Amino acid sequence: MKDDRKERRVIFEVDVSVNWRMHEKWPAVLFLLTSVMTFHVRGAFVGINIGTHVSSLPPASDVVSMLKQYEFTHVRLYDANAQLLKAFANSSTEVMVGVTNEEVLKIGKSPSAAAAWVNKNVVLYTPATNITAIAVGSEVLTSIPNAARVLIRAMKYLHKALVAANLNLQIKVSTPQSMDVILTSFPPSTATFNSSLNSTIYQLLQFLKKTNSYYMLNVYPYHGYIKGNGNFPLDYALFQPLSINRQIVDPNTLLHYNNMFDAMLDATYHSIKALNFSDIPIVVTESGWPWSDGADEPYATKQNAEIYVNNLISRVLNGSGPPSEPTKPVNTYIYELFSEDQKPEPMSQKNWGVLSTKGSAIYRLSSLSSRVAGSSSVVYCVAKDGADPGKLQNGLNWACGQGGANCSAIQPGQPCFLPDNIVNHASYAYNDYYQKMQLNGGTCNFDGTATLTNTNPSRGSCVYTGSVNPSGGNGASPPTPSLTLGPSSDFLPPSSSSKLDARQFHFLSSPMLLSAFFLLLT
């Protein structure tokens, strides 16, 4: 979001070395190991942001009940709200607390101020409340550039305060950034951070690497689409399937992008690598879509918000990463639980919430637990053994092409490539298509070559998404596949930043559309 007060979601992978003789740290170590094991068992998660600029905000206990009803087990608070932190005590909810931008300026000047903040807002509530991260500010580098000089110091001071409290192993420190810190975002393989911020970002990455933390990123395809002025498909922003002749390809890597969300992630991963850092995971602290608009925001509708958020849930819970990092899950926090109607104009800034303050859903929300692998009620769409290989190949081509399935995981060297046979590859593609599209009429048939099963086909790092079968049957088949998927000499590059440079995009559909992308958008 493009306002001063959007601070939202996250979580992680952890890697740490411990002096096992320091027995006083064993409780924290055991907590950490439990968290890591739980993380790998359940795969990626979807959390939710909770803002409090809300008229008639429900009591904190009611908020906790609503989260349980809708199965959110990870939340991000924009500050350290005392009532909510108390309400989450003795629950399984993992909580990220926020340092406001105003507090960053104070904490960055004083280690004692950082220690006081940690004691008041973290130590006081642990271990009863499961605090797992501190988000330091919100888009500080682009929203209040004068604070950049103290941002890294504030993070270091807060981390030292956690070390003093023996909480540094279970609580990570990071800072959410917008896509605007990336100067050139297409193609993702050549994306780089704005050079004017390189010194600060380099220090940030050093800190994240040293403390085994993660890069917090706010991802808003809504803003990217609006700034694109209709020069690329709305479906690309909404995770909707793209026909094969409109798919988006990085000309350097030949990686296909079916949605703007993944393109933004990869642009960030490549920007990190450009500064010679690796193995720093990204957690998406904010992503969502507004459901009500002003006269000049026609795409902020309930229909689009429903499509985006539910497709986002499916995308995150399939457990894969973006095309360049397919084995890295993309833990994501939805923006946001309640609409913050006390925010200033424009109208769409006020209407991002997924629930009313009475607890009812603004639009249909996918179940989170129904997509967790391993439940006996969970179904998967897989290729039938003994199916005709030609039909399977056609089905695979269609799913990875027109069907919009993310097939990066079955490419050579990726986690689901082996065994290298048509049944395995078709099964993964069929299932990815079905889980994304079943609520929009997608079926598990593929000319009679597919079937639903309750047996989880996941193996090792190859993770299949599962879901509750809404219809009880396979239903009709998608159109008979006739297109083949493969690299093309005509490339359709992705938008990967909320600030789009239209010179970086072109579409296969027409020369007119191609020339439209040579308009510089600021």
C-alpha–C-alpha distance, residues 445 and 438, integer Å: 12
Asked whether 296 and 345 are in contact (CB, 8 A), the reply is no
- In this structure, which long-range contacts are made by residues 67-73, counting pairs with CB atoms below 8 Å and at least 24 apart in sequence? 67/93, 67/337, 69/359, 70/355, 70/361, 70/365, 70/368, 71/367, 71/368, 71/369, 72/46, 72/47, 72/48, 72/337, 72/368, 73/45, 73/47
Q: Is 7 a catalytic site residue?
A: no
Q: Is 94 a catalytic site residue?
A: no
C-alpha–C-alpha distance, residues 318 and 314, integer Å: 6
The secondary element (H helix, E strand) that includes residue 284 is strand 282-287
At 501 the three-state DSSP class reads strand
Strands 378-383 and 450-453: antiparallel
Residue 399 — φ and ψ, nearest 5°? -60, -45
Active-site residue, from 7, 103, 286, 336: 286
Tokens for 329? 């899950």
C-alpha–C-alpha distance, residues 121 and 41, integer Å: 30
Active-site residue, from 7, 94, 139, 336: 139
The secondary element (H helix, E strand) that includes residue 64 is helix 60-69
C-alpha–C-alpha distance, residues 105 and 117, integer Å: 13
Give how far the C-alpha of residue 454 lies from the chain's centroid of Cα atoms, to the nearest Å. 27
At 450 the three-state DSSP class reads strand
- Cβ within 8 Å of residue 263, ≥6 positions away: 185, 186, 188, 248, 257, 322, 494, 495, 496
Asked whether 473 and 444 are in contact (CB, 8 A), the reply is no
C-alpha–C-alpha distance, residues 284 and 8, integer Å: 8
Task: Say how many residues make up the chain.
Answer: 522
Q: Which residues are catalytic?
A: 139, 286
